[in-house]
A and B are shown apart, each in its own frame.
Chain A
Amino acid sequence: MKKYSFLMIFGVIFIAILIIYSPVRQLARAHVNYETAVKDHPLSCTSCHLYNQNDGFITKFINEDYYSPFNLVVSKDSKKVYVIAQDADLLMILDTENNRVLNKIKVGEHPHSVILSKNEQFAYVSNQWEDSVSVIDLKLSKELFKLKTGNGPAELSLSPDGNFLYVVNTFSSDLSVIDLTKKIEVKRLITGSNPTGIAIEPNGKNLLVSARRANIDNYGELISSDITLIDINKQSVIKKINVKSAYMLENIAYTPSGDFAITTLIRPKNNIPSIQVEQGWMMNHGIGIIDQKGEGNVVQFLIDEPNSFYSDPFDIVITPDGKKAFVSSSGVDVISVISIDSVRAIISKASPELLKKYSNNLGISSKYVVKRIKTGANPKGLALSADGKKLFIAEQLQDRILVINTATYEIINSIDLQGPKKITVARRGRILFNNASHTFQNQYACYTCHPDTHEDGLIYNMGGAGMGRNLTNTMTLRDISETGPYKWTGTNHSIYKQDGIRFSTFLTRTEAFSHSDLDALVAYIRTGIKNPPNLIYNPTGEHTDSQLRGKAIFERSKNNFGTLIPKNNRCVTCHPAPYFTNLKLADVSTLGTSDDSTLFDTPHLINIDASPPYLHDGRAKTLEEIWTVYGTDEKHGVVNDLSKIELNELVDYLKSIRAPKYNKDDSKNSQLTHYKSK
């Protein structure tokens, strides 16, 4: 018996030694070290092989379906709140007196905003990934029908008479005018780039639409974004108001008197080498005031402070008395309360030169920001009660609606949407992604340069090797899970490495993500970021004739003269389906004089139309320019033999490329299998 026990103990020790020192463990250690690019990441298989999986049986158990409230509207009596649950494709109706969910109404894919008809009989919900507006009968709690819109509908507004619905189309950068009596779109008006916000003048004459992306220009030029002024009666564009040095004009609101319209905005510092964060050298956040009395000049004020930043301002609402504006700073979980009278006083006293100086002043906010209200994770849409006494806040990543007393600024209620209580690894990653606390002085979150997990359309000088060198066009994060290596230079083979210690040393300039946080962030980026459907250029998967001809050019092996195109110079060689990248580096003759000698990573081409400008340094403003201006030496594909029409067809095909998940025959796609196995 004793001998047996001794053998048992010896066996356990032997197995333990085997596990600890076995070649398998050493291999696992080497593998983890390689993937994470550090030597001290815990040897945990689940970090990558469980939480980073997109599909499969187990992933359904480890993930949860959250509601993620995005925008909201309040009934006139404040007894009900109508909430867009973006992740669940629902309109949720909440009882504010009893703090409960009254109803959940299924709407279209990825809803964005909701408004109510004047009599509160109907709700209109924009379905951003479905190009439609759901019209809901609130008495029946039922969707009656859908109205067709432009691409990517976002904010909505009703004409004063209630006969027309105005829908801001984010992806197609225009405004749909929908006749509600005929239930059809009657007009499409061009707006600024990537618009979301809309506000109707109190007198009902005009409306404003705010744009998020800056107008595309050469690197080094002063950036600017547009607010579009539209005549409601004529249903035509009056003018575009240029907002200089700013972008991400997410939302806009009028004061009740109509003397001002105020938009949220970000003032990026992308033209300056990214050599420090101190003193606001990377991103500033604020508001733009469009003076309606004069010539529509835009005065900008920051809501930041010298050592504290209020990143990613999203929504703005103004109290009925016109005294206060509330701005949600999504990146720092704060609502800033702004005294509009103080803003008026500053504007009335200051010279234009001084006002221009104020737009970069971090200290002046103390004159008009009267309160900072702390909220739950990621406050997005705001709504005021009709009397202006209550502020309702959609806390997107808290699955909760917060209610604030607008006089005392105290929390008077919080309505839990009854979402999952468990915070999954990927959800935690999403919270980290959207929160600026991992950047020095909260100056920016991952979201800031990657709004909606895409890219902000700007070119930065990261100042790594030397100031003024190696300009970098921000890359999308959508569908990048299988498309490593990362960075334009392809130097980071994994997202772990991309977001590791160098990321904190040169970009966030504060403490690096902990292993646990980095696990969560990677899990979110690899599993939670999807491209919207390509409804403009490829809604059904059936290509147009023009796109088919472009596809033939994309895949051709001979030029128009019958000469064989070398394999490595065919479009399809470097950009094969399903992600349209071969995951390799290449020289496509785009190395600039300010670039260090390097090859460039082949980017994926999913929804490429949504990612201008193009090439590593953003020098090409359009897809056409890649070849008509910069690719004439034929190192970036053979195109010189193409007619203008053929080049257009090639571009037409490129724009039709969509994410593999929208293709019906994904499972049969051998290349996709190849990607997944890599």
Chain B
Amino acid sequence: MIPNRLNKFFILIVCIGFVFVFSSCDNSLKEGTIICTQLAENHESNSLNIQNYLNYFSNAKIVAFNAEKQSGFAQILTEEFFSACAPSISFDGESMVFSGQKNKNDVWQIWEMNLTNLKINGITNSSENCFDPAYLPNGTVVFSKRKTTNVEDNFYALFTCKLDGTDLMQITYNPNQKFGSSILRDGRILTISSQIYPENQAPIFVVLRPDGTKEELFYKSEFNATIVSSGIETSEEKIVFIESDSENKGSIVSINYNRPFHSYENLSSGISGYFNSVYPITHEKFIVTYRTSSKETFALYEFNPVTKLLGNKIYKDEKNNLVQAVVVLKKERPKKLPSEIILKNETGLLVSQNINFLDIKDIANKQSIAIAEKVEIEGMKNYREVIDVEEDGSFYIKVPANTPFRIKTLDKNGNIVKGPSGWIYLRPNERRGCIGCHEDKEQSPENVQPLAVRKEPISIFVQKKENNQIKVDF
């Protein structure tokens, strides 16, 4: 009996030994692990601000922390890279995409890391910098990529591709910098957009479908603040992000998905100091990167959005800033949106219900606005066409796909009534509608058939291109 018991004890010890040995070899990043970008303390401060994204991060590392242990141990995940940043976790919590450059003068590419074995695969092989990747629910990634066709085209557009880098497709075409994309649960891409041509404008949040269609304004600061981080949707249908005021003081802001324009809430107004990134875990726990003053480095903290108080300090490195924090979590997969685009179709259609549409503010303020009778459709490089609108103020146009244009409304003498609008583009075969010019984004259309759609659409730029009368550089 005794030898038998000893045998069993011996076997148990061996088993425990095996478990210990193999578990210590387990490199996988467990659920709850915090991953962020680590930057040297003396890194130029303006690169911590998305307004100056073009400088991007130099000599940055992606590091991981076990939030439960709070051991102070930062595991560097991108040793083989000169610089890496912008980690984004897959919906199943098993992999991560990020942007990185292997060597100092390399082009920034998009990479994917398996969080179980920490193996890294390249996704893009681009001759232009690629930044800020995010997983799309259909197994592709969206990211920002520099486009340098012309001087006025020198901006970061959004692109998508498969995880093996194939099927690369540009999906945004207006001259706006697009950065910091994330995916909403409804399947659309939420991205920071900033017009750069002909003049710079403040960053705003726009949403668009993964094929680039139906791009529209989602949020614009009413306080002249600047959006400085990606917007992340919480399980309570809120979008949280960091907004920076004129003193570069970042605050945690929350807006409701259901009503983003009028649900602004500054969650950190009672806290002095600077926030740089926010990542929601539960309805009462966010992971934030924060510093008390500009003399400090950004450190990892917990934040309670219900009490609006900072929680535990998770990790602070006196020599390095910690920014762009994300957490390894399984999340509900967003909807896979179908695509209406047909690439062989070279045009898109746009209908506007009434260019003289008055919104609630106009009526409440009893503003009388001049009646517009024409619209001018202006392409880049000063190509423009003027068309008459119908009696009901509607117009219906066919424009070349993937070509930015903007619209002004004109009175009968050709004087500008409103405009120009922001840059619009249509994807191949896209059909879009708008209620009017500078419409209230909370207004749905009146159930009236626009007179303009009782006729064929007016071709803008298309005919000229087809007849080769004018060579338009689209």
Contacts of B454 on A, CB cut-off 8 Å? 468, 594
Q: B445 on the interface (CB 8 Å rule)?
A: yes
Question: Does A245 contact B447, Cβ atoms closer than 8 Å?
Answer: yes
> Which positions in A face B, CB cutoff 8 Å?
219-220, 222-223, 245, 267-273, 275-276, 278-281, 284, 302, 305-308, 351, 353-354, 357-358, 360-364, 366, 440-441, 461, 463, 466-468, 501, 504-506, 509-512, 594
| Given known A-B contacts A308-B257, A511-B338, A276 and B349 have beta carbons under 8 A apart | no
16 examples of A-B residue contacts, CB within 8 angstroms: A273-B431, A279-B216, A306-B442, A308-B237, A354-B364, A360-B446, A363-B261, A363-B262, A363-B442, A501-B338, A504-B338, A505-B339, A509-B338, A510-B335, A511-B335, A511-B337
Does B450 count as interface, using CB distance less than 8 angstroms?
A: yes
The distance in angstroms between the C-alpha atoms of A302 and B442, with both chains bound, is 11
Q: Cβ of A308: which chain B residues have Cβ within 8 Å of it?
A: 237, 257-258
Contact of A440 with B453 at beta-carbon distance under 8 Å, contacts A366-B259, A505-B338 already known: no
Query: Is the Cβ of B448 less than 8 Å from the Cβ of A363?
Result: no
Q: Is B142 an interface residue (CB 8 A)?
A: no
Kindly supply a per-residue 1/0 record for chain B positions 277-310, scoring 1 wherever the CB is within 8 Å of any chain A CB and 0 otherwise.
0000000000000000000000000000000000
Residues from chain A with a CB closer than 8 A to the CB of B457 are 466-467
Which of these, B186, B214, B258, B261, contacts A276 with CB under 8 Å?
A: B214
Chain A CB within 10 A, most for which of B216, B442, B450: B442
Chain B min CB distance to A619 (Å): 15
Tell me whether A306 and B445 are in contact (CB under 8 A).
no
CA distance A354 to B339 in the complex (A): 37
Give the total number of A-B pairs whose CB atoms are below 8 A apart.
Answer: 141
Q: Could you tell me if A275 and B449 are in contact, using CB atoms closer than 8 angstroms?
A: no
Closest CB in chain A relative to B423 CB, distance in Å: 18
Which size bracket describes the interface of B in this complex?
35 or more
> Contacts A276-B433, A510-B337 given: A362-B449 contact, CB under 8 Å?
no
CA distance A318 to B125 in the complex (A): 63
Q: How far is the CA of A270 from the CA of B447 in the complex (A)?
A: 7
Q: Is the CB of A505 within 8 A of B447?
A: no
Q: B431 and A467: CB pair below 8 A? A: yes
One of B187, B444, B448 near A510 (C-beta < 8 A): B187
Chain A positions within 8 Å of B162 at CB level: none
- Judge whether A306 and B432 touch: CB under 8 Å: no
Given contacts A306-B261, A366-B262, A511-B336, contact A245 B360 (CB under 8 A): no
Measured CB to CB, the closest approach of chain B to A327, in angstroms, equals 17
Give, as a whole number of angstroms, the nearest-CB distance from B238 to chain A.
Answer: 12
* Besides A440-B186, A461-B449, A594-B454, 8 new A-B residue pairs in contact (Cβ under 8 A), listed by A number: A220-B449, A267-B444, A272-B447, A272-B449, A305-B259, A360-B444, A466-B349, A505-B340
Q: List the A side residues contacting B38 at CB < 8 Å.
A: none
Q: Which of B336, B351, B359, B443 contacts A275 (CB 8 A)?
A: B351
Q: Is the CB of A463 within 8 A of B431?
A: yes
Cross-interface CB contact of A468 among B216, B340, B363, B449, cutoff 8 Å: B449
Q: Identify the 9 closest CB pairs spanning chains A and B, nearest first.
A: A280-B444, A468-B453, A363-B442, A275-B431, A505-B338, A305-B258, A308-B258, A467-B453, A511-B335
- Whether A351 contacts B453 by the Cβ 8 Å rule is no
Interface centre among B440, B441, B449, by most chain A C-beta atoms within 10 angstroms, is B449
Cβ-based interface call for B156 (8 A)? no
- Measured in the bound complex, the distance between the Cα atoms of B453 and A461 in whole Å is 10
B95 touches A (CB below 8 Å): no
| A302→B447 CA distance, assembly (Å) | 14
Closest to A353 in B: B363
Which residues on the A side are within 8 Å of B447 (C-beta)?
222-223, 245, 267-272
CA separation between A461 and B351, bound complex, in Å?
A: 14
> In chain B, what residue has the closest Cβ to A278?
B214
Does B356 interact with chain A (Cβ within 8 Å)?
no
Cross-interface CB contact of B260 among A267, A307, A468, A504, cutoff 8 Å: A307
Q: Which residues of A contact B396 (CB under 8 A)?
A: 467-468
Proximity bits, B203-220, A CB within 8 Å = 1, else 0: 000000000001010000
Of B237, B336, B431, B443, the residue contacting A360 (CB under 8 A) is B443
- A170 vs B432: C-alpha distance in the bound complex, in angstroms? 38
Task: List, in ascending order, chain A residues with CB within 8 A of B349's CB.
Answer: 275, 466-467
